[in-house]
Amino acid sequence: MNATRTFAAAVLATSALITGCASTSSQPYNNGYNSGYNNVSMGYGTIESIQVVQGENRTSGAGAIVGGLVGALAGSQVGSGGGRTAATVAGGVAGAAIGNNVERNRGANGAEVYQVNVRMDNGEYRTVNQDSVYDLRVGNRVRIVDGRVYRY
């Protein structure tokens, strides 16, 4: 019984760490060629190309936590003594992996990101990834502000 309590405490501590590190930000991200810039006004340019790319499938960690708990619960029903402890740990690890994959695959639907390549007025090229392009077209004069491309 002591091993089960220790394992439960370890699962709760791990889930707290995973949840604390999870990102739920819905803000678009910018992974352009000059990614060393802060999120400030970055300048003016012309759109060279717009491409649709597959977005990152980020997970919150909830799938791993729930999967780990279900797997540990199922594993604790197998065997007795040291075998039960091993089965509980193995079930928790396997359940966490499966739960994380289920969450990742579930979020893959509609995860399109638009990659906008901009030739800046000073000759540099910047790539901005954002969730929509609205009325942006190749050849438009644009400005980049806070990691997003806007018509100018």
Domain boundaries, the chain: 1-26+57-110, 31-56+111-152
The pLDDT, as a whole number, for residue 90 is 87
| 46 in Cβ contact with 142 (< 8 Å) | yes
What are the residue ranges in the chain where pLDDT is below 50?
23-40
Say what the pTM is.
0.43
Residue-level pLDDT at 10 = 59
Q: Which CATH class is domain 31-56+111-152?
A: mainly beta
Count of beta carbons in the 10 Å neighbourhood of residue 28: 17
- Residue 137 DSSP SS3: coil
pLDDT at 31: 46
Which pLDDT value is given to residue 40? 45
